[in-house]
Structure 1
Amino acid sequence: MSDGFAFRFKAESQLILDAAEFIVYERVCCPFYNFESAVEPDANRLWLRLRGQNGIKEFIRYEFNIEE
C-alpha cells in the first residue's frame, strides 16, 4: 500500500477486541491515521489497515519498528 500498511491476524475474538481497543486509543494520539478493520470469515483473517497522508508510511515504520 503506498499510503500505509495492512496487518493480517487470525480472526480470533480476543484479537478482534484488541484491534478495536488499539483503534480507540490510537485515534486519540494519532488523529491523522485512517483506520480500517475487516474480518474475512471464510479465511479466518482480521485485517487492520493504517493509512494516511504524505509521510505516514515512514511514520508507521518508525513507530512500529518496521524495516524496509
Structure 2
Amino acid sequence: MGTIEDKIKLDLMQTIFNDSSAIFEFIENRFKLNDEQKKDIVTKINTCNNDLYQILKDVKLV
C-alpha cells in the first residue's frame, strides 16, 4: 500500500514543480523584473515548494 502512496506523492510533487515553473514564467513574461526581483520570486516559490514537500512527506494519505 505504501508504494501506491509514494507514487501519488511523487506525482503531486511533479505537478507542483511544473505548476511553479509555469507561475514563474507567467510572472516573468508579464512584468519587467530586475535580477534581484527574479531571485526573490524564485526564493519564495522554492520556499512554498519546500513547505508543500514537507507536508506530503509528513502526512499519511488516507
Structure holding more strand per residue: 1
| TM-score when normalising by structure 1 | 0.35
Structure holding more helix per residue: 2
Q: Which structure has more RCO (C-alpha within 8 Å, separation ≥ 6)?
A: 2
| TM-score when normalising by structure 2 | 0.37
Whichever of the two has the greater Rg, that structure is 2
